[in-house]
Structure 1
Amino acid sequence: MFILLVSTFLTNVFAAYEEINTTQGKVIRGISKAQALKKFGPPSSVSENLWQYSGQENFFVYFTDPVMVYLYPNSCSGQLGVPVEFKVFADSADYKIRDVTEVSEFLVDDPANFVSIKPGFFIAKKPGRYQVLARFRKSNVRTFISNPAYVDVPDEKSDKKEDEEEKIVAINIVPFKPVLPVKTRLGFSAFATFFNNKQAKYDVREITRQAEWFIKSEGAQEKRLDGSQIYFSSVGNFQVFCKYQNIKSYPQDVTIQDYTGTLRKTLKHIMVLPEFVTIPKGSDVSFIALGTYYNNEVQDITAVSEWATKDRAILKMEKNGSYFASSVGITEIGVDKDKIESSPVKAVVVNKIGDSDVFNKKEEEKPKNLFDDLLNNINKLNKDTLSGSKDLRQIKLSPDNFKISIGEKSKQIVAMGVYADGSEEDLTLLGDWKSSDGVVAGVIKGLVSPNYPGEAKIEMEYKNVKSLPASVLVEGPKLISIVVTPDNSIISIGGILNLKAEGHFSDLSVKDITTSAGWLLDNVKSLKVEAGKITTFGSGITNISAEYLNIKSLPVRVEVVLTNIWILLMILKFLLFVIVVLVIILSVFYFLVQRNKAKIIALSSSPAEFIIALYSNSRDIFSLSGFKKDLCIAPITYAKMIEDKLLNKSGDLSAFTILYEEAKYSKHVLTKKETLRALGNYNNFLRILLSNYKGLELLKRKTVFLLFQKPFFIEESVCGLGDAKD
């Protein structure tokens, strides 16, 4: 009966408000603070959960809880041995909705017929209709009660069809909470989780084409769509859901914004299906992981993610997403990829479906008598009003100084009223809010929205009492993340690769920051990066990250490898280097040879000295050619020996040697004609000498002559002996 009593005062949040006549006057309940402000205006006095209106009619508005607690879903159908899940959401005055399921207590009108697995999960042991309440404790003295929810569990023996082997447990929609620009089309996908009654197995299948699709915008009725491809023509917040076999999916929130930019392909969310399983010991179960990216793409990442089990003794992983139930118990499974973690999914292993030995029962507590609390609150408010203790003295804003960037979510300022008795009350929704510069920042009910860089003062006034201003500094778009492309590259040594760093900002804009960012390397032995340009000089693997404004990108992998083309290029470069060095060396020696040649030519005006110098040079050439002269051998004998070895009968060397002996030992004055004849004998015999060498041997001999700086042929024309022929 306690559920019936509480439900009299706790109706569904979507129902109309009700009026209750008490000894203290009329009390209105079942209405939110925002609805009360819109319908009745600001109250004359307020308390923690009660507003008083004085005027032509004196009445009270009672808020069931200052923190509204919702139990979702409001009603559902269950099945014997199959878990039913509830979620508890707390909606506080700052408009923030939190999932408080894990820290809430659940009250069931017939707890003996229900098994509680964990907060929010129940398994019915008997058919029937059950009522459930959630109790959320904000502190040791504050308790909030949710709306009642109902669970209908049919009698399987009478209601279940013999040919019905499987049922839909849940339907989920992806991509997860997409954000996209206006006038954009986006395709959604629906995945249904089926439970096979006979085999006690779960199966996740895509039902996008078979499902009926619907969309709902703020303050509008749901609208049926032709398919899952949806075109969004206006800015705003929407909910997309589908229906299949009379089962409605969980709604997916969609945000449409007025902006242009590139959406990055970076992982945002991981959804693991099924979200909850109850399987018998010794059976197999499979899960899939669906990844939603910031560009709203959805991929099956089951095989490429890291899977973890909280208790491996209960579930043993055979491969990614596939598990074997090895022992009875309760465990959780999580998925991780690119530093993004999924919400854990629950797995309950029992000896057989319907077995409750694995679960621990908790003693259920009954809710307090809310009717008595209501009267007490009214009496307290009347007493405070008459005594003047509720006179408002001061309004404090919190926070009173903060920064916010363009594109960031609106920030809530809370206004706390300080009364004469020292008590405080949240007046955020009651007063008039003003911004000193609406171009910079706007404010509605304390919710500050950044519009343009600058500074603005926010004030709130209630009952002719003004708060001190809160200072709001609106900064330009804030850098949220950096994406570097390409993310995986292989280049050869000596190759060049250009990386690109894109900064994603809070206003959803994307900016090329390649030249502005700093580049971080974990291996500086194989490459360097300057303004995104990679220059390689050694083989190896390097992870590279871009950093800008204290934001660091995920690393990209660059592998530098040896290639045959690079090796060939290095060989060619080495050969070219050797050739250049040889040319330089030979050029130096050629210069030295020409210098020695010039010295000989300079003696041509003195026939004797010229012939002696020629003979000395020829003797060195003969020695380098393998004809070494013994000091005891006369020059003419030496000449005959060389001619004999070369089989030469021209006598040029002998004739040249005779002229040499005459020039050195005779006092006879030689003429230019004799000088010319000596030069002719010299050149002729050198030609005979060289004719004995072919190919590489000839090249070798000439190189040796060059290295020893020995001139070879000397032309008659350069010696000034042309007139000696006449």
Structure 2
Amino acid sequence: MKSKIFNFVFLLILSLFCSPISYGYQTLNSSIGKVIVDIDQEEALEKFGVPIAAYEDIWHYSAEEEFFVYFASPLSLHIYPVLCELPMFVPLEFRVFASFPNLEIKDVTSESEFLFSDYSGFITDKEGAIITKKPGDYVILAKYKGIFSNPCYLRVKEGKITKVKEEERLLAIDVLPYKPEIARTDTLEFVALGTFLNQEKNKYSVREISYGAHWFFGKDENFIRAEGRLINFHQVGKFDVFCKYNNLESYHQECEVKDASISFKQGIKHITLLPEFMSVYSGENITLKAYGTYYNNKVEDITDKVLWDINKKELLQGLGGGVFLTRSKGIVSVIARLGEVKSLPVKIVISISDEKQRDVAIMPPDFYKNKIEEIKRKDVIRQMRNDAYRLSDVFLKKDRTLSIIKIIPDYLKVNLGMEGKISALGIYSDNSQEDLTLLGEWHSSDIRIATVSGGKVSTFSTGQINANLSFHGVTSPQATVVVEPAKLVSIILNPHHSKISIKDNLTLRAEGYYTDSSLKEITHLVNWEITPSGLIKIEKGMVKPLWFGLTKVRAEYEGIKSLPVNIKVILTFEWLMGVLLKIILFMFLGIIVIFMTFYLLTISARNKLLAYFHKDPRWFIVNLYDNLKIILVVFGLGNKERLPPLSYARMVENIKSIEDNCLLRLTVKFEEAKYSHHILQGTDALVALDTYNEFLQTLFSRYNKLHLLYKYCLTLIHRIPLRLYITVNQDDAASCQTNSKML
């Protein structure tokens, strides 16, 4: 049985190397029978039951058919970094990688146990993360499934460390909305948020990178590339959505697509708090960003709305708006809360440093010289792949030579600040192929423009280079890499949320973030998207309110859109009083214009009446009396009982106690003009006019000024002239006085 097991192990390892690399549960057919691999012991017990024989890594089953279950143990374990020197109270995070027989390389940091030569020299909070607190030389090992890693040599010093300048790098990408639900016929817009670390400025930042990323969606490990972040799934089921940016893949976001339309609940569903992990120094201001996913799949920056829960307030002080002040060293957790919804906690490691230096240079001490030469030749991943490559040669025992190396692609365009990807494929004498991307040595014709390492193209300036790879004495043909100008990645609008009155103006500033980490003002270049329209207008960044309400504004340039900012136009007491004063002023001016119009019409009617004074005295007297009757109606003295003219005149004089009988005299003159046939002279018209004015003067004396003003306005509306005056010669005036006395 032992020989059978030995033969099985050899054949199994051989079949693993000859088979394509795969992950998950799979079945292999060997000369000794069926072999099941990539399964753990708990899952094997659940699926197949208790074996008839069990060895360290192999279980033997014999049910309907005989088969074996093989539990692969790692061939080697590597801890990174291998060599490091840093000052006290600086955080350090280890990563542990396991190399398996099927060439799989797996990050097993969370499953590993860490062993320290002196535990008193460190503060530990989570697996793999430490803070140095005592100077000295230390050795650290990682243990995984009974296998120990290579040693990590760590020197902690009290002095300063020469700083190695690093550019801003992307740490992680998060995709929102969180676990959205969508109808099959709808389209969903996703948002990619990148967490960046600028080590030179000691700053973490979170920016939208949706438009610069490549989007993918699918299920069951079958993914297709989307045209952009607007995705229509067309099928019912659960899909994974993710994006890639600068060769970094985001976390996958699960999206459920339903056949029928969805009735969404109101309110917020989930809060994403970024960055998820920060390592900072005391006395610094840091910024956290909270993004809310609502049930209707809307994504919003809610940093200004949430409440903050800090587990150690003596270490971290909130300043408002997502800004915090680090006060002393330690490890603190922060949670964002809105209503009943809470975010996952973020960890903040706070250290103390006089020089505020974050970049830790790898400065090996003298007694590490022999090991440094080994580390310089290859990084950890390349070393692991080379180990696996040599192991594969041992088991395969094949005699083959490398014939040619192909670079794929042989022509690559990449924007400044972004990372490109090229690969090297080795073709051997037996027509077999091998991926040499991580195994060979890359060369660049001009490292000032771009460099290539492990197939990754890092850009530094615009231009063109030639790149090739050498491996085992064979050099590939050259591939051309063209570095184009930096590409716009995202647009940031400031201020984020504003309240202005309708009489104020607001300046919006649009800044473009490019792939080379540069930030440029592009306010004069962007197009503005305003929803809803009609409340504000924007000209070259200047916001002019038009009406009250809440508006969302986006900036768009070169196909890139910013996250929306809210602008609320509010009602103020000063504006309301100003509007009321303007309304009153306009009403007053309107009344003046109206009465001026009536006044001019009244003047026109008066002139028309006086024009007949000399032309036709009879017509003048009759119309003068008719004008007076309308005035009496305005003053509430109308002839409602339809009395004869003379009786009507006596009634009015009795009501208003008029003793000089002027209305009666004018009525007599009216009847004479209307019913007699003798010729009337201008003096008759003058007597009637004088009597008319005399009566009006007596009538007006019976009213107060305010009432008289009101009646005057009514006569203007009816376009009825009141007192009438005309210029006459002295003879006519004397004759008029004589006739008046006779009457």
| TM-score normalized with structure 1 length | 0.51
Q: Provide the C-alpha distance between the structure 2 equivalents of 1:68 and 1:415, rounded to a whole number of angstroms.
A: 27
Matched, 1:561 2:576: no
> Residue 102 of structure 1: which of 101, 109, 122 is its match?
109
Structure 1 unaligned spans of 5+:
1-63, 78-83, 93-97, 111-115, 123-128, 138-142, 152-169, 172-210, 219-235, 239-251, 258-262, 276-286, 295-301, 310-315, 323-330, 347-369
Structure 2 unaligned spans of 5+:
1-74, 100-104, 118-123, 131-136, 169-196, 209-272, 290-302, 318-330, 350-382, 735-743
Q: How big is each residue's C-alpha offset from its partner over 1:170-219, in whole Å with a ceiling of 9 and x where there is no partner?
A: 99xxxxxxxxxxxxxxxxxxxxxxxxxxxxxxxxxxxxxxx86443347x
In the TM superposition, what is the alpha-carbon distance from 1:384 to its structure 2 partner?
Answer: 8.8
Q: How big is each residue's C-alpha offset from its partner over 1:373-399, in whole Å with a ceiling of 9 and x where there is no partner?
A: 999959969x999x5x213223233x5
8 Å contact kept, 2:309–2:337: no
Matched, 1:147 2:151: yes
Match of 1:394 in 2: 405
In the TM superposition, what is the alpha-carbon distance from 1:614 to its structure 2 partner?
Answer: 0.6
8 Å contact kept, 1:270–1:292: no
Match of 2:588 in 1: 579
Residue identity matched to 1:691: S
Residue identity matched to 1:133: L
> Residue 504 of structure 1: which of 506, 513, 524 is its match?
513
8 Å contact kept, 2:275–2:288: yes
Match runs of 1:24-39 below 5 Å: none
Q: How big is each residue's C-alpha offset from its partner over 1:507-559, in whole Å with a ceiling of 9 and x where there is no partner?
A: 313113266233354x7696565654444465555554444445444554444
Q: Provide the C-alpha distance between the structure 2 equivalents of 1:723 and 1:714, rounded to a whole number of angstroms.
A: 20
Match of 1:419 in 2: 428
Residue identity over aligned pairs, in percent, reads 24
Matched, 1:642 2:642: no
Q: Provide the C-alpha distance between the structure 1 equivalents of 2:207 and 2:315, rounded to a whole number of angstroms.
A: 23
Q: Provide the C-alpha distance between the structure 1 equivalents of 2:570 and 2:414, rounded to a whole number of angstroms.
A: 47
Match of 1:518 in 2: 528
Residue identity matched to 1:510: K
Match of 2:634 in 1: 624
In the TM superposition, what is the alpha-carbon distance from 1:607 to its structure 2 partner?
Answer: 0.8
Q: Provide the C-alpha distance between the structure 1 equivalents of 2:497 and 2:612, rounded to a whole number of angstroms.
A: 75
Root-mean-square deviation over aligned CA pairs = 6.1
Q: How big is each residue's C-alpha offset from its partner over 1:567-600, in whole Å with a ceiling of 9 and x where there is no partner?
A: 2123223323332443343344334434433442
Q: How big is each residue's C-alpha offset from its partner over 1:62-86, in whole Å with a ceiling of 9 and x where there is no partner?
A: xx99999534668999xxxxxx987
Match runs of 1:40-119 below 5 Å: 69-71=80-82, 87-88=94-95, 100=107, 102=109, 105-106=112-113, 119=127
Q: Provide the C-alpha distance between the structure 2 equivalents of 1:664 and 1:303, rounded to a whole number of angstroms.
A: 89
Residues 1:579 and 1:91: Cα distance change in structure 2 (over 3 Å): farther
| TM-score normalized with structure 2 length | 0.50
8 Å contact kept, 2:528–2:553: no
Q: Provide the C-alpha distance between the structure 2 equivalents of 1:566 and 1:444, rounded to a whole number of angstroms.
A: 63
Match of 1:611 in 2: 621
Residue identity matched to 2:618: A
8 Å contact kept, 1:459–1:469: yes
Matched, 1:291 2:299: no
Q: Provide the C-alpha distance between the structure 2 equivalents of 1:548 and 1:686, rounded to a whole number of angstroms.
A: 79
Q: Provide the C-alpha distance between the structure 2 equivalents of 1:428 and 1:91, rounded to a whole number of angstroms.
A: 17
Matched, 1:216 2:163: yes
Match of 1:486 in 2: 495
Residue identity matched to 1:147: P
Match runs of 1:103-502 below 5 Å: 105-106=112-113, 119-120=127-128, 132-134=140-142, 145-149=149-153, 213-217=160-164, 254-255=199-200, 291=286, 333=333, 335=335, 344=347, 389-397=400-408, 400=410, 402-406=412-416, 408-421=417-430, 422-424=432-434, 426=436, 433=443, 442-443=450-451, 448-450=457-459, 466-467=476-477, 469-470=479-480, 472=482, 474-502=483-511
Match of 1:53 in 2: none
Task: Give the aligned length.
Answer: 485
Matched, 1:690 2:685: no
Query: SS of the counterpart of 2:162?
Result: strand
Query: SS of the counterpart of 2:510?
Result: strand
In the TM superposition, what is the alpha-carbon distance from 1:710 to its structure 2 partner?
Answer: 1.4
Q: How big is each residue's C-alpha offset from its partner over 1:46-67, in whole Å with a ceiling of 9 and x where there is no partner?
A: xxxxxxxxxxxxxxxxxx9999
Residues 1:544 and 1:256: Cα distance change in structure 2 (over 3 Å): closer
Match runs of 1:547-558 below 5 Å: 547-558=556-567
Residue identity matched to 1:70: P
8 Å contact kept, 1:502–1:511: yes
In the TM superposition, what is the alpha-carbon distance from 1:611 to its structure 2 partner?
Answer: 0.7
Residues 1:614 and 1:378: Cα distance change in structure 2 (over 3 Å): closer
Q: How big is each residue's C-alpha offset from its partner over 1:404-439, in whole Å with a ceiling of 9 and x where there is no partner?
A: 323x1443534333222324252678667466xx79
Query: SS of the counterpart of 1:215?
Result: coil
Q: How big is each residue's C-alpha offset from its partner over 1:288-311, in whole Å with a ceiling of 9 and x where there is no partner?
A: 9962699xxxxxxx99986689xx
Residues 1:135 and 1:600: Cα distance change in structure 2 (over 3 Å): same
In the TM superposition, what is the alpha-carbon distance from 1:483 to its structure 2 partner?
Answer: 2.8
Residues 1:378 and 1:494: Cα distance change in structure 2 (over 3 Å): closer
